[in-house]
Amino acid sequence: MTASGSLLAATILLPLAIAALCLSSRFRARAPSLLVFAPLPALLAALLVPDGTSALFPPPLRLSLMLDRPGAILLGGAALLWSAAGAFAASYMRSDPARAGFAVWWLLTLAGSLGLFIVRDIANFYLLFTLASLAAYGLIVHEQTARAHRAGTVYVVLALLAEAFLLLAFVMLAAGHPDPNPAIRDVVATLPAAPLRDAIVTLLVLGFALKLGLVPLHVWLPLAHPAAPMPASAVLSGVVVKAGAIGLIRFLPFEAGLPFWGTLLIGAGFVTAYYAAIVGVTQTRAKTILAYSTVSQMGLLAVLLGTGLENADPGATSLVAYYAVHHTLVKGALFLAVGVLAATGGQRLRPMLLLTAVLALSLGGMPLTSGALAKLASKPMLGYGLVSHAMALAGAGSTMLMLHFTLIVARDVRDNPASIAPAGQLVPWLAVAAASLILPWSLYPAISGEPLASLIQPDALWKLLWPMLLGTLALLLVRRFERLQGAIPEGDIVVLAEAGTPAIARLAAFVERADAHLRRWPVAGLLLLALAILIGGALMLQA
Partner 1 sequence: MSSAISDTATLFGLCGAALAGIGLFVVIAHPGLLRRLVGFNILGAGIFMVFGAVARRGAAAGLPGDPVPQAMVITGIVVAFSASALAVALLRRLFDLTGRESLEPPAAGETPRAES
Partner 2 sequence: MTPLALAPVHVATPGGYLLVLALTLPVIGVLAILAFAPRRARQVALASMAAGLAVAIAILAELLRTGDALTYVVGGWQPPLGIALRADGLSAALIAMTALVISATGLFARGMQDLSPETRDGRAATTFWALLLATWSALNTVFLGEDLFNLYVALELLTFAAVPLVCLDGRAETMAAALRYLMFALLGSLLYLLGVGLIYGAFGTLDIRILSGLGDGGPALSVALALMIAGLLAKAALFPLHLWLPPAHAGAPAAASAVLSALVIKAPVFLILRLVLDVAPPEAAAFAGQLLAVLGASSILFCSVMALRQARLKLMIAYSTVAQIGYLFIVFPLASGPEGTPPWETIAWTGGTLQLVSHALAKAAMFLAAGVVAEAFGHDRIAGLGGFGRALPLSAAAFGLAGLSLMGIPPSGGFIAKCLLLTAAVINGHPWLAATILAGGLLAGGYVFRVINTALASPATPLAVQRPIPRRLEMTALALAVAAVLLGFIPLEPFGLLQIGRSGLATAVAP
Would you tell me which residues interact with partner 2 (CB under 8 A)?
A: 59-62, 98, 123, 126-127, 130, 134, 138, 141, 144, 149, 152-153, 156-157, 160-161, 163-164, 167-168, 171-172, 174-176, 180-181, 508, 511-512, 514-515, 518-521, 524-525, 527-529, 531-543
How many residues in total does the chain contain?
Answer: 543
Nearer to partner 2, 418 or 538 (CB): 538
Does 536 bind partner 1 (CB under 8 A)? Our answer is no
Distance of CA 341 to the CA centre of its chain: 24
Nearer to partner 2, 101 or 314 (CB): 101
Q: What does 526 interact with, of partner 1, partner 2, none (CB < 5 to 8 A by kind)?
A: partner 1
Could you say whether residue 499 binds partner 1 (CB under 8 A)? no
Q: Which is nearer to partner 1, 473 or 523 (CB)?
A: 523
Paired strand residues for 345? 419
Nearer to partner 2, 160 or 469 (CB): 160
Residue with smaller CB distance to partner 1, 505 or 523: 523
Residue 180's binding partner, choosing from partner 1, partner 2, none, with beta-carbon cut-off 5 to 8 A by kind?
A: partner 2
Helices (H), 22-121: 25-34, 40-48, 69-92, 99-115
CA within 13 Å, CB half, 266: 19
Distance of CA 80 to the CA centre of its chain: 16
CA dist., res. 490 & res. 285, Å (int): 9
Stretch in the footprint of partner 1 (CB under 8 A) among 196-204, 308-316, 393-401, 516-524: 516-524
**Other C-beta atoms lying within 10 Å of the C-beta of residue 530:** 10
- As beta bridge partners, residue 56 has 64
Q: Is 271 exposed, middle or buried (0-12, 13-18, 19+ CB in 10 A)?
A: middle
- The three-state secondary structure class of 299 is helix
Minimum Å gap between C-beta 525 and partner 1 is: 4
Which of 3, 484, 526, 530 binds partner 1 (CB under 8 A)? It is 526
Query: CA nearest 302: which of 279, 320, 315?
Result: 320
Closest to partner 1 by CB, 199 vs 514, is 514
Q: Cβ closer to partner 2: 503 or 539?
A: 539
Give the nearest distance from C-beta 151 to partner 2 in angstroms: 12
521 binds partner 1 (CB under 8 A): yes
| Residue selected from 522, 537, 539, 540 as contacting partner 1 according to rule CB under 8 A | 522
User: Measured from the CB of residue 541, what is the shortest distance to partner 1 in angstroms?
Assistant: 23
Q: Give the C-alpha separation, 510 to 487, whole Å.
A: 37
Report 250-309 residues binding partner 1 (CB under 8 A).
Answer: none
Q: If binding is defined by CB under 8 A, does position 516 make contact with partner 1?
A: no
Q: What are phi and psi of 107, to 5 degrees?
A: -65, -40
Main-chain phi, psi angles of 113, to 5 degrees:
-70, -35
Site stretch for partner 1 (CB under 8 A), options 167-175, 248-256, 352-360, 524-532: 524-532
User: What are the residues whose beta carbons fall under 8 Å from the beta carbon of 205, sequence distance 6 or more?
Assistant: 248, 261, 264, 265
Nearer to partner 2, 156 or 279 (CB): 156
DSSP codes joined into one string, 345-380: BGGGHHHHHHHHHHHHHHHTT-TTSHHHHHHHHHHH
Rounded Cα distance, 75 and 304, in Å: 19
| Binding positions for partner 1, rule: CB under 8 A | 520-522, 525-526, 529
